[in-house]
């Protein structure tokens, strides 16, 4: 089976869905791995390293796609790329189906079987395939490093002959995977850390990492988590109470890390402009939700800006700022996912449509949209 890997077209994307170690695994299993030249350069995997692991390096995307049965990518490939695939090929990537309606027409026109990795269910069996969690871990870590670099003071306490430097105060908003890693990283750097979340289940997790937890606790918070483990969108009344609590707390913070996302919905506003005006001069806000509108209305996607004396970091793809490790985790997630649908005797694609993970992720097959959430038959 021919497997194709192309350069990611976005200038903000340094990841690649394969590493030299994974090339060895694929070729050992009988795959022919064709990689467009330069595809791994930004992740620290030059052509010669991938080639020595067993990959076939080709000069352009057309050569990689020719006769390819399987295309792996980080993000949705451009329409012109998909149209070059043979009919019946399989594509696995973060396909952004919530905002990419035209994608379905292209996939169906080429009768492509497509799997959107952001739809991998949050179940025990699917943990090793959960790309959102693996990438969010790195995003939370990197967010704190970005903040520490831009914050004009030190994070830990220093006691010197010249005087004592107080530790930085870091406030993490949203205690999912990214938020918990941000808490752990900030604590390792010596900061005093607090966090908030609408889910009661997050309280114990936050406190176990040595951070204090603040939230408005009422009847609504008892049902604030979906069966998939994500936060639900709260009522306007609850949002108002939570905002008042945050507004008071944020005035004392040096760094704020915003991580709140609701799958398929615009990101909730957590820090208003009025709140931002009350933050200390020189403080830093990192917004990890800018790809979905941002948790602060003054954040700018893929930019660092100064507003009201606060530095706002809006990198939408924070995991890509740790590209080698992000690629390794993402690539292993895909490799584990493929094991569900590949006959090892081939390798050939043999999809078990009764498998709950595959069924949850498949968007299109044989020229039809089959995912019920996006117009397929229920």
Which run of H or E residues covers position 94?
strand 90-94
Which run of H or E residues covers position 239?
helix 236-250
Rounded distance between C-alpha atoms, residue 14 and residue 135, angstroms: 13
Which neighbouring-strand residues pair with 310?
307
Sign of CA dihedral 7, 4, 67, 100: negative
Rounded distance between C-alpha atoms, residue 366 and residue 368, angstroms: 6
For the question of residue 42 being annotated catalytic, the response is no
Crossing angle of the two packed helices 131-150 and 323-338, in degrees rounded to 10: 170
| Contact indicator for 60, 80 with CB cutoff of 8 Å | no
Q: What 3-state DSSP class applies to 355?
A: coil
Q: Which of 114, 133, 242, 299 is catalytic?
A: 133
Q: Which of 32, 127, 272, 291 is catalytic?
A: 127
| Contact indicator for 31, 63 with CB cutoff of 8 Å | no
Q: Kindly state the tokens that stand for 28.
A: 């050992």
Rounded distance between C-alpha atoms, residue 260 and residue 344, angstroms: 40
Q: Which of 26, 42, 130, 327 is catalytic?
A: 130
Task: Write down the number of H helices and E strands in the chain.
Answer: 12, 19
Q: Which of 66, 122, 187, 188 is catalytic?
A: 122
Q: Which of 32, 47, 51, 230 is catalytic?
A: 230
Degrees to nearest 5, angle at CA 40 with 330 and 11: 90
| Contact indicator for 77, 10 with CB cutoff of 8 Å | no
For the question of residue 127 being annotated catalytic, the response is yes
For the question of residue 133 being annotated catalytic, the response is yes
CA 338 to each of CA 173, 197, 310: distance values in angstroms, whole numbers, following the listed order? 34, 34, 45
Rounded distance between C-alpha atoms, residue 96 and residue 76, angstroms: 7
Rounded distance between C-alpha atoms, residue 200 and residue 225, angstroms: 8
CA 258 to each of CA 143, 144, 270, 299, 341: distance values in angstroms, whole numbers, following the listed order? 9, 11, 8, 11, 37
Q: Which sequence positions are flagged as catalytic?
A: 122, 127, 130, 133, 230
């Amino acid at each position: 089976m021919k497997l194709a890997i192309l350069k990611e077209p976005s200038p903000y994307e340094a990841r690649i869905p394969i590493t030299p170690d994974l090339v060895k695994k694929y070729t050992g299993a009988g795959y022919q791995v064709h990689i467009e030249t330069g595809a791994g350069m930004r992740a620290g995997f030059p052509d010669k390293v991938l080639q020595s692991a067993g990959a076939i390096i080709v000069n352009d995307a057309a050569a990689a796609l020719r006769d390819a049965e399987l295309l792996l990518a980080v993000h949705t490939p451009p329409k012109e790329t998909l149209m070059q695939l043979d009919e019946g090929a399989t594509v696995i990537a973060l396909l952004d189906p919530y905002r990419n309606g035209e994608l379905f027409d292209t996939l169906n026109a080429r009768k492509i079987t497509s799997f959107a990795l952001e739809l991998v269910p949050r179940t025990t069996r699917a943990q090793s395939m959960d790309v959102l969690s693996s990438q969010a871990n790195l995003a939370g870590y990197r967010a704190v490093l970005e903040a520490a670099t831009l914050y004009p003071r030190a994070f830990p306490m220093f006691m010197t002959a010249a005087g004592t430097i107080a530790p930085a105060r870091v406030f993490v908003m949203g205690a999912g995977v990214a938020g918990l890693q941000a808490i752990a990283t900030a604590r390792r750097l010596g900061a005093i850390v607090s966090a908030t979340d609408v889910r009661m289940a997050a309280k114990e997790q936050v406190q176990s990492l040595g951070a204090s937890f603040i939230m408005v606790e009422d009847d609504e918070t008892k049902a604030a988590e979906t069966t998939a483990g994500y936060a639900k969108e709260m009522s306007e009344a609850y949002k108002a109470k939570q905002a008042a609590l945050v507004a008071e707390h944020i005035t004392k913070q040096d760094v704020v890390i915003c991580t709140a996302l609701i799958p398929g919905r615009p990101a909730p506003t957590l820090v208003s402009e009025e709140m931002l005006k009350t933050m200390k001069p020189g403080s830093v806000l990192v917004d990890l939700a800018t790809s979905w509108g941002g948790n602060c209305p003054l954040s700018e996607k893929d930019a660092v800006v100064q507003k009201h004396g606060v530095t706002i970091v809006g990198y939408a793809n924070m995991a890509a700022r740790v590209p080698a490790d992000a690629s390794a985790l993402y690539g292993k997630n895909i490799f584990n996912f493929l094991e569900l649908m590949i006959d090892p005797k081939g390798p050939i694609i043999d999809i078990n449509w009764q498998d709950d993970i595959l069924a949850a992720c498949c968007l299109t097959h044989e020229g039809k949209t089959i995912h019920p959430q996006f117009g397929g038959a229920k």
